[in-house]
Structure formats: C-alpha cells, structure tokens
Amino acid sequence: MFNDEKVLPQAEIIAIGNEVISGLIQDTNGRYLSQQLHLLGVNVLRITAIGDDKNCISRVVEDALERVDIVITTGGLGSTYDDITKDVLAQIFNSKMILDNRVRSMLEVTFKKRSQKIPANLHSQYEVPEDATILYNNKGTAPGFLFKRDEKKLFSLPGVPLEMEHLFDTYIASDLKKIQKGVIDHRIIKTVGLTEASLWEKFGPVEPLAKLVTVASLPSYLGVKIRLSYCSKNTEQVKIRLKEAELMVMTSLGKWVYGKDNETLEGKVGELLKEKGKTLAVAESCTGGLIGHRLTEEPGSSSYFLESLVAYSNEAKTGRLEVPSALIKKHGAVSREVALAMAEGIRKTSGADIGLSVTGVAGPGSSDKKLVGTVFIGISEEKKSNCEDFIFYNDRSRNKERSAQAALNLLRRWLLNLKM
C-alpha cells in the first residue's frame, strides 16, 4: 500500500459498542484515529467494530495483539451495565481491580462545581486495573488505560469523540512521537466538473505519477478527489515528493481543481471574490437555500456575500427579482430565459456586482413538464452574463447538492475567466 511501510509500526483499532455494531450510530473514532496514526508514521491494518460482548471483545483484542504493535480500543468504558471493556481487558491482562484516588478526586471536583455529589452509578469509575497506566480524563467521567504486553501496547479510550480525541492527543500522540520512525502523509487534490473516466483521460498515462507516489482516485457525485500518498523515514522527503506529484496533477488538471486537503469550493469562491473586491447575491429556486448555506460556512463571508433569495414561488421570482411573469409563462420557471432573468434580477435588486441563479426540478415530481433533474444556472455581471444547463438523474437531495456544486463551480470559473 505505501512505499516504505515495512519500516513502520503497525496498529489496529477496535470500536466497541452495541450502538455501533447495530448501525444505530456511525463510528467516527476509527477514522479519526487512523488519520492521526498515519501522520505519526503508524500504519493501520484493520478497524473492527464489535458489540459489548465479552467473548467477542476478548477474541478480537487477543488476535490484534498477535498481529500488531499497537492496539487502540474505543468505547465501553462508561458506567452503565453494558459497558464491560474495562473488566474484559483486566481479565485479558490478568490484572485485579484497585481504587484510584485521583480519578475519584477529579470527579469530586467536577460535581462540586455543579454543587452535586458524585452519582452512585459513577462510583465504579474509580476502580481501575492494577497493572494499567491510567489516562486521566478531564473532559468526561471515564479514564482511559494503557496496558503493556512485552513490546506491545494496548490503549483503551472512551467512545465519546471529544474525550477520545483529548486522551489521544494528551497521552498517545506524545508517546508515539518518541518512537516515530517515519511519516505517511497525503495530499488531496479536489476537482469538480469532470467524471472519473474523463479526468484520467485528460491526465494521460498515470504511470509517471504512480512511480512518484501512491495514487488513489475517489469519485463522488460532487466531483473526483485525487489522493497522493507517500511514506518515508525522512519527513522532508515526504514533503518534496508530494509537492512534485501535486505539480504534475496541477499541470494537466489545474482548471478543474478548486482546492487541496481541507479546502472547499465555497472557500475558493470566497477567496476569489475577496481578491477581486466583488460582491455576490444569489437567487435560488430548487437548491432551496443550500448555496447560501454553503457560502456562509466560510467565516468572514459577510464581506462579499450580500444575500440569497430563495424564490420558491413564482410570486417571489416576479416580485422580488423582477422576472417578467410573461417570461415565466412563455418558457416555464425552469428555463434558460428565467435563469438569466433571475441572475440579473438578484444582481440589480441587491446592488451586488455578481448575480448567481439556479432554477431546476429537484424532484421527485415535476409540475413544469421538464424532466426531474433539469437545472439551469445563470450568472450576471453588469456587462456580461451566461447560463449553463444540466440534467442530473438523482433523488431530490442529491439533485440539490449537485446543483449547488455546479453553481459554485460556474462562479469559480467565471471569476477565474476559465473557458472549459
């Protein structure tokens, strides 16, 4: 999988909880830990979710300790009757339970602040396995534990993400940094507007890139992400390789790339608007407010985003946006003509430099004799305007998401003056 991975320590993650295994909640701890471990040069082999079952926990933990150097469990450390992780681990490591005064005094302080006594059901939290190192938790009631067997380590963390992350950062990351032998790092290049097949066709042969780094292509209905990964003992070398690979991708696909790693399309658009000193207003129909919602996820968006008008009714289109009702009558609310009139209307009535509009049929029904998934996106500035049309084929929610993505991408290309 990775270039140099054999030099690295190996880990497994075990998520424990009936609520996870029954599908009631999504386990997100596995992903968080996996990302963090990679950055610390630890290769993750498995993430296993299991229920609060004694035999199953024992077996999965023992098997993982056979295979890898580091095992991290999450969950099952609470104080309700189905939380059994601590007892099962104590048995696995032949450790008897003792009382820990520091856990008790930490809880006392917490409850004193609320002028309360420690509830009886939390008393079991002071009982800890004698042979474990205690990972004191000041973000919750359950401490974590570190058990050792020969050179191997097992960390047991609570399942609440906030507490799990806190204990990982406080105890595990610092521990692993001491033995760090290398780094696995990634660069994610995010594209919009191409299918996976046409993206790789435009890129050409992938071999030169694949010689440099490990490449993964991650398609979704909002765009394709390209992940470049490299692993080495030499941290500097990892940076250089990823930079080189990134340049190779940008050279052929730059026009379709809106950002990397944690960057977002709405962030890119915001950056461009700020750079050019332009303001924006949006007229949304089928997206229902999603474009405004995405734009305002960016801190500071109030400096360029003036307003969004969700003109769901025809009255809002004619009244607020001054779209002539004859135009709607002639072409239908979902049409090129109305999209352009909406973009111009929101620009003029709001006083923004740029008007962006979306009108379409999200589905499942269509009152407009247009196919479900038909979407028109308009953009208007004082001296020029444009409209693009799309036919998506998805359900209501996805059509809304794809329409918002296409609208933000049209705006990005408009601001960059990119012809496609």
Which of positions 20-39 make contact with a second copy (CB under 8 A)?
20-28, 30-38
CB of 248 to a second copy, least distance (A): 18
Contacts of 379 (CB under 8 A, 6+ apart): 343, 354, 355, 356, 357, 385, 386, 387, 410, 411, 414
Q: How far apart are CA 70 and CA 34, in angstroms?
A: 12
Q: Contact region for a second copy (CB under 8 A) — 42-50, 124-132, 233-241, 249-257? A: 42-50
Looking at 3, 260, 289, 337, which residue binds a second copy (CB under 8 A)? 289
Within positions 74 to 103, which residues make up the interface with a second copy, using CB under 8 A? 80, 82
Q: DSSP secondary-structure letter at 3?
A: T
CB of 126 to a second copy, least distance (A): 16
For 411, the token pair is 């705006």
Residue with tokens 């006594």: 117
Considering the complex, state which of residue 30 and residue 129 has its C-beta at the smaller distance from a second copy: 30
**Beta bridge mates, 391:** 374
For 366, the token pair is 């269509």
Residue 357 is a binding residue for a second copy (CB under 8 A): no
The Cβ-side half-sphere exposure at 410, using a 13 Å CA radius, reads: 26
Compose the 168-207 pattern: x for residues touching a second copy by CB under 8 A, - for all others: ----------------x-x-x--------x--xx------
Residue 351 is a binding residue for a second copy (CB under 8 A): yes
Looking at 95, 219, 348, 381, which residue binds a second copy (CB under 8 A)? 219
Within positions 290 to 309, which residues make up the interface with a second copy, using CB under 8 A? 290-297, 299-302, 305-309
Compose the 100-119 pattern: x for residues touching a second copy by CB under 8 A, - for all others: -------------------x
Q: How far apart are CA 377 and CA 414, in angstroms?
A: 12
Considering the complex, state which of residue 237 and residue 264 has its C-beta at the smaller distance from a second copy: 264
Rg (CA), the chain: 27
* Neighbour-count burial of 76, counting CB atoms closer than 10 A to its CB (0-12 exposed, 13-18 middle, 19+ buried): buried
Residue 56 is a binding residue for a second copy (CB under 8 A): yes
* Neighbour-count burial of 369, counting CB atoms closer than 10 A to its CB (0-12 exposed, 13-18 middle, 19+ buried): exposed
Within positions 389 to 408, which residues make up the interface with a second copy, using CB under 8 A? 396-397, 400
End-to-end CA distance of the chain: 35
Looking at 1, 240, 250, 416, which residue binds a second copy (CB under 8 A)? 1
Residue with tokens 């006083």: 351
Within positions 125 to 154, which residues make up the interface with a second copy, using CB under 8 A? none
For 187, the token pair is 């660069």
Looking at 156, 229, 335, 374, which residue binds a second copy (CB under 8 A)? 229
For 91, the token pair is 């048995």
CB of 28 to a second copy, least distance (A): 6
